[in-house]
């Protein structure tokens, strides 16, 4: 199927892209990684503490919702580095720089982690893409995706919806969320798009893979998980929606 996928959309619907990895570390990553990255990344950069950093570590460790929450972010070029106690992520600034540039930076950033020497095992990595299909009319939003929902005798046609489903697929779990009537805002709070959100988080759980082994095959892992996410996204779209987005093929 992947050979039939568009390589690009003329009307780019992407509003967020994030790679994340969760690991076991001998020292809380939030204590050392911000300084390491700030030192190793050339050029202009900015570092910020996030709200969760004010929560005591003892509380974070005992709350599953906070264990992997980013505590620090570093703005650098087209990317944002997200660091938690046991997590590391990379997000893209808009406009999306393209998969090849995104992948190259992920590989560059994870190589910096090698010299730190505190990460022992990786037990999860994921790739999340969030797209918004623009449409003001609720009925048009619902009909833009291949979605059939019925509760009792009532069939979804033009009602607001927020639905999440976890779909097992080969080595992945794909958490797919569909949300209607969403307004995407820019950094200065201006609305840049409004419509139906398709949020796909493709997750791979590992059996405590050694960090060195994980890095050895990381480029192949990235290509595979990116393709899996892309396939799921395009499988959600109707033919009419895909055509409206202006697909470009090789």
What secondary structure does DSSP assign to 88-134, as a single string? EEEEEPSSP--HHHHHHHHHHHHHHHHTT--EEEEEEEEEEEEEEEE
Number of domains in the chain: 2
Running DSSP on this structure, what letter comes out for residue 66?
T
Residue 178 lies in a domain: yes
The tens digit of pLDDT for each residue in 47-66 reads 999 998 889 888 988 887 78
Averaged pLDDT, 85-112? 94
Given a cut of 50, whether residue 193 has pLDDT beyond it is yes
pLDDT at 2: 45
Same domain, 41 and 88: yes
Count the Cβ atoms, other than its own, within 10 Å of residue 93: 14
Given a cut of 80, whether residue 237 has pLDDT beyond it is yes
Q: What is the pTM of this model?
A: 0.92
pLDDT at 1: 42
pLDDT at 141: 94
Integer-rounded Cα radius of gyration of the chain: 19
The tens digit of pLDDT for each residue in 126-167 reads 999 999 999 989 999 999 999 999 999 999 888 899 999 999
pLDDT at 3: 52
Residue 232's domain comprises 127-245
Same domain, 75 and 180: no
pLDDT at 38: 87
- Burial (Cβ within 10 Å: 0-12, 13-18, ≥19) of residue 122: buried
pLDDT at 122: 96
Same domain, 28 and 111: yes
Residue 2 lies in a domain: no
pLDDT at 231: 97
Residue 103 lies in a domain: yes
Given a cut of 50, whether residue 90 has pLDDT beyond it is yes
């Amino acid at each position: 199927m992947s050979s039939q996928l568009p390589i690009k959309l003329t009307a780019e619907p992407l509003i967020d892209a994030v790679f994340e990895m969760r690991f076991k570390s001998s020292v809380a990553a939030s204590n050392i990684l911000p300084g390491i990255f700030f030192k190793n990344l050339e050029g202009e950069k900015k570092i910020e503490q996030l709200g969760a950093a004010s929560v005591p570590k003892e509380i974070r460790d005992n709350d599953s919702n906070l264990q992997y929450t980013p505590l620090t972010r570093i703005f650098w070029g087209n990317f944002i580095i997200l660091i938690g106690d046991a997590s590391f992520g990379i997000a893209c600034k808009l406009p999306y720089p393209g998969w090849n540039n995104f992948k190259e930076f992920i590989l560059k950033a994870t190589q910096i982690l090698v010299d730190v020497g505190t990460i022992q095992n990786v037990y999860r990595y994921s790739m999340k893409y969030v797209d918004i299909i623009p449409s003001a009319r609720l009925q048009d939003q619902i009909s833009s995706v291949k979605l059939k929902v019925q509760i009792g005798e009532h069939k979804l046609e033009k009602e607001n919806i927020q639905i999440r489903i976890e779909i097992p697929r080969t080595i992945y779990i794909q958490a797919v969320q569909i949300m209607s009537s969403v307004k995407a805002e820019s950094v200065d709070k201006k609305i840049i798009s409004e419509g139906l959100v398709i949020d796909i988080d493709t997750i791979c759980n590992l059996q405590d893979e050694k960090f060195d082994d994980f890095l050895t095959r990381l480029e192949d892992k990235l290509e595979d998980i990116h393709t899996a996410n892309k396939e799921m996204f395009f499988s959600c779209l109707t033919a009419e929606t895909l055509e409206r987005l202006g697909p470009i093929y090789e």
